[in-house]
Amino acid sequence: MHVITLLNEKGGVGKTTLATHIGAGLAVRGLRVIIIDADPQGHATVSLGMQRKPGLYDLLVRDASFSSVLQQVPEDNYCVPNQKVEGVLYVIPSNEETRAIPMMTSDGLIVLKRLSELENVVDVVLFDTSPTPSLLHASIYMATHSIIYPTECEYLSLDGLVQSLQHKDQLQPTRQQWGLNAIDIMGIVPMKYRESTVLHNRNLEMLRKQFGEKVWQPLGLRTVWGEASLIRRPVFHLAPQSKAANEVWKVVLRVEEAIT
Ligand SMILES: Nc1ncnc2c1ncn2[C@@H]1O[C@H](COP(=O)(O)OP(=O)(O)O)[C@@H](O)[C@H]1O
Ligand SMILES: [Mg+2]
């Protein structure tokens, strides 16, 4: 089981978009996937057409069983039209109660401990996170193998990226204490990229200079993303032949390659 977390301490950069598309894409490809929505807004949950309750709070604070909080996402909500879904996709929803999780549990290893119940039951767990760091993030860090950082090629998103990377490093000594390896940076994914914008070009170049191969192919700024979000379906469901779908499949395949 591989645990991947989507992080950037800036909102609106594409964490939820990538969490839901990578999760749905890997399920289409044949993997058993759980998306854990850890943002009180619950946008990953509703993006897949699911209800916000019961949620992560029930799992971590009320000690609910996985079977009572896991919602299986109907294939029709995320499939590529006329293509069989080979795997399975579940969501653990989030709602405003998620905000209170850090106040209600003092066990920093709670996420890691609960996820150990899923070993050999699922292939991938994907965490969608909120931009504001919290003790829930710290607990998720303890359970994470790899991080994917979506970022826009603009100042505030890049600042959010830097802050997120610093927090990852700050938590490493705690991981070491518990005998956990360093978290792998799986990739930095430029989102809403405009080739014609000099600032975007410059910032992408700067990212590549600093992080080399870790910087993945950018996903262009395209209106179909907004349309897909409006009907709460992935872009490869709404517009399977679109450039956006093509670009996001490359991300899905790269994640698949990294974990299998
Ligand atoms: N490549 C893109 N082009 C245009 N809009 C995008 C693109 N990627 C994401 N979006 C839109 O940006 C908005 C914010 O994305 P979201 O994934 O919710 O960010 P976050 O979870 O980091 O706050 C959403 O409405 C989404 O549809
Ligand atoms: Mg989000």
Q: Show the domains of the chain with their CATH numbers.
A: 2-259 (3.40.50.300)
Which of 229, 230, 237, 250 is the pocket-test mutation for ligand 1 (most atoms within 8 Å of CB)? 229
Element (H, E) at 88: strand 88-92
Using alpha carbons only, how large is the chain's radius of gyration in Å?
17
Burial of 187 (0-12, 13-18, 19+ CB in 10 A): buried
Tens-digit pLDDT profile for residues 29-45: 999 999 999 999 999 99
Ligand having the closest approach to the CA of 190: 1
The reported pLDDT for the residue numbered 132 is 94
Tell me what the mean pLDDT of segment 88-112 comes to: 97
Query: Which residues are placed with Cβ below 5 angstroms of ligand 2, an ion?
Result: 15-16, 43
Record the pTM. Answer: 0.98
Paired tokens of 43: 């946008």
Q: How confident is the model at residue 102 (pLDDT cuts 50, 70, 90)?
A: very high
Tens-digit pLDDT profile for residues 42-66: 999 999 999 999 999 999 999 999 9
Tell me what the mean pLDDT of segment 113-118 comes to: 97
User: Which protein residues are within 6 Å of ligand 1, measured from CB?
Assistant: 11-17, 43, 191-192, 219-222, 225-226, 229
Residue having the nearest C-alpha atom to atom 5 of ligand 1: 225
Distance CA 40, CA 139 (A): 16
Alpha helices in the chain (DSSP H): 15-29, 43-47, 56-60, 66-69, 101-104, 110-115, 135-143, 155-177, 198-211, 224-230, 235-238, 243-259
Cα–ligand 2 centroid distance for 179 (angstroms): 31
Distance CA 248, CA 22 (A): 8
